[in-house]
Amino acid sequence: MMKTLLAIVLMICCTIVGAAESPNFIIVYVDDLGWADTSVPMMLSDPESKSDFNQTPYLEKLAARGMTFSSAYAPAPTCTPSRKSIQFGKTPGRLGYTFVHDVLALQKKLSWKDEVSMADIIKAANPNYVTAHFGKGMSGDRMETIGYDITDEVDGNATNDNFHGEYDSIGNRKPLPPDNPKRMASLQKRSVAFIEKHGGKQPFFMMVSHYAVHVPHAARADLIEKYRSLPRGKYLQDEDYLPEEQIPEGRKISHWRLQYAAMLDEVDQGLGAIMLAVEKAGQTENTFIIFTSDNGGGLNPNGTLRGGKANLYEGGLRVPFVVAGPGVRQGAQCDVAINQWDLLPTLHDYSESDEALPEDLDGGSLRPVFEYGNAAKVERNVEGFVYHYPCYFAPPLTVIRLGDYKLMEHHLTGEQKLFNVATDYYEQQNLVEDLPQKAAELKAVMDKYLEEIDAEDVQDVYQARFAELDRFEKNAREQYKKRIERAGEEKRLIDEANNWLREQLERFDRNRKECRENMQGKMF
């Protein structure tokens, strides 16, 4: 009897030790989801930090057994730089890709295949880990080239990009079927199958990277009708309740709130299916699940936050963030500022890797705040969060959040804004004239960082953009010659070719004009 009891105790201890040594990790990464778009309040003291219409019941369940963060930040206000940054634990500025379609990075033909990724970190900790990435990639390098064992990448050597959320294939431009808008059903099926195959058999790391809720919006008809029958939220408009065929086309693509709520509902259902699969595999107590977004929301208003996607106010950077897992405080809100470039060192910490982290990381492990909340802090090698945004299509800025304060500076005009985003997170009171020493303190830290990373210069970005447009025009003229040759004497085809070239040249001229106007120093 004693031997039997001892065997049982040893088995339990071994199970606990094994779980502690090799936890599972799941990241659900939503595209363009705003800080206040879910039914989970990101800040309990602010009723506007959640939606009064959208329903995300499974995220509510995750939050109930885990932690929400009121001051969680994406690495950038647009998707591509964020999706690179989260993989490598470094700021977009350090990686050299700072905004969508970074023309300077493209001109340099940069690649990030040699960077250490989250998947690499996991594999180094324990070679038995299996790693998977499903959904939207990071543009440029394929996910299989940065350490992921299993991916759903399609179209040969092309990385999964926005259009893969619209089409079955970029090559055939065949639209996705109505029962699989934005590939949400496919992502749910693949992620659940992955857990069923590996959960409880070997440790795993899975990233489910959604195409939703990015434009063009798309949702199942049955879910749209579900929201049509619900009590009306305060931001809903009469147009939202028109029959689908009467919804204005532009609004249908990006601002039809019934459709948006339905789309987010299916994303949440995917999260619920993942949670259920983890439970069935007996891995709930050994699995970290993180739910967040790649940048701020594009559907205004964005709660009480100022701005949204593609700008550097809080609405473009602050995102929903919910985590549950072994040791994470339950039902708690944490107000410590965190960033998604913290996730790589967090996975390194929890996987108890013996391999040294890269020395030039910008992030630090979130384990202390996951376990102790506001009583803890995150240790990083770099001071604050620096956002370098030398953009050619928007005001070029660099921003730093350091402690409670946030400094924004225009690259061309030198215009500055200073906010206490701990209290004035809606950024209404510019303190730059009231607190000049604080502004100077933040600028010194920011400038030192920019020098350290040899940050992109906005003038180089402008020149790269003009060079790109020149290449586009040259290619268009070459295509025009081929069209004319094929047209022969047929007037209709000649007219079509002439009209096509005129439209192309007019577009390039508009692009050049917009870039020159931006170079004049638009206020922000």
pLDDT at 363 over 60: yes
Asked if residue 9 is part of any domain, the answer here is no
Could you tell me the CATH number of the domain that includes residue 392?
3.30.1120.10
pLDDT at 200 over 60: yes
Q: What is the pLDDT of residue 14?
A: 40
Shared domain for 142 and 82, answered yes or no, is yes
Shared domain for 437 and 483, answered yes or no, is no
Q: What span, in angstroms and rounded, lies between the C-alpha atoms of 296 and 308? A: 5
Q: What is the pLDDT of residue 523?
A: 84
Q: How many domains does the chain have?
A: 3
Shared domain for 415 and 497, answered yes or no, is no
365-396 pLDDT, tens per residue? 999 999 999 999 999 999 999 999 999 999 99
% pLDDT > 90, the chain: 92
Shared domain for 440 and 332, answered yes or no, is no
pLDDT band at 464 (very low <50, low <70, confident <90, very high): very high
pLDDT at 9 over 60: no
Mean pLDDT of the chain: 94
Asked if residue 76 is part of any domain, the answer here is yes
What is the SS3 assignment for 481? helix
Q: Give the CA-trace dihedral at 446, 452, 456, 459, to 10 degrees.
A: 70
Strands (E), 36-129: 67-69, 72-73
More confident residue, 501 or 3: 501
Length in residues, the chain: 524
Asked if residue 441 is part of any domain, the answer here is yes
Q: How confident is the model over 259-286, as a mean pLDDT? A: 98
Asked if residue 17 is part of any domain, the answer here is no
Shared domain for 422 and 491, answered yes or no, is no
Q: What is the pLDDT of residue 4?
A: 39
pLDDT at 227 over 80: yes
30-55 pLDDT, tens per residue? 999 999 999 999 999 999 999 999 99
Q: What is the pLDDT of residue 7?
A: 38
**Final residue of a structural domain among 347, 375, 403:** 375
**Final residue of a structural domain among 352, 375, 398:** 375
Shared domain for 394 and 325, answered yes or no, is no
Shared domain for 94 and 209, answered yes or no, is yes
Q: What is the pLDDT of residue 368?
A: 98
Could you tell me the CATH number of the domain that includes residue 142?
3.40.720.10
Q: What is the pLDDT of residue 11?
A: 42
Q: What span, in angstroms and rounded, lies between the C-alpha atoms of 434 and 58? A: 45
Asked if residue 321 is part of any domain, the answer here is yes
pLDDT at 13 over 80: no
Domain of residue 466: give its range: 458-519
**Main-chain dihedrals φ then ψ at residue 116, nearest 5 degrees:** -85, 120
Residue partners of 173: CB distance under 8 A and separation at least 6: 167
Asked if residue 232 is part of any domain, the answer here is no
pLDDT at 327 over 90: yes
Residue type, 463: Q
Q: How confident is the model over 143-172, as a mean pLDDT? A: 88
Shared domain for 156 and 285, answered yes or no, is yes
Asked if residue 488 is part of any domain, the answer here is yes
Residue partners of 450: CB distance under 8 A and separation at least 6: 93, 386, 388, 398
Q: Hey, what are 380's tokens?
A: 């990083």
pLDDT band at 172 (very low <50, low <70, confident <90, very high): confident
Shared domain for 118 and 202, answered yes or no, is yes
479-514 pLDDT, tens per residue? 999 999 999 999 999 999 999 999 999 999 999 999
Q: What is the pLDDT of residue 21?
A: 65
Shared domain for 278 and 334, answered yes or no, is yes
Shared domain for 144 and 213, answered yes or no, is yes
Asked if residue 371 is part of any domain, the answer here is yes
409-439 pLDDT, tens per residue? 999 999 999 999 999 999 999 999 999 999 9
**Final residue of a structural domain among 400, 432, 452:** 452
Shared domain for 148 and 185, answered yes or no, is yes
Q: How confident is the model over 290-297, as a mean pLDDT? A: 98
Q: Which of 125, 170, 121, 129 is nearest to 146 (CA)?
A: 121
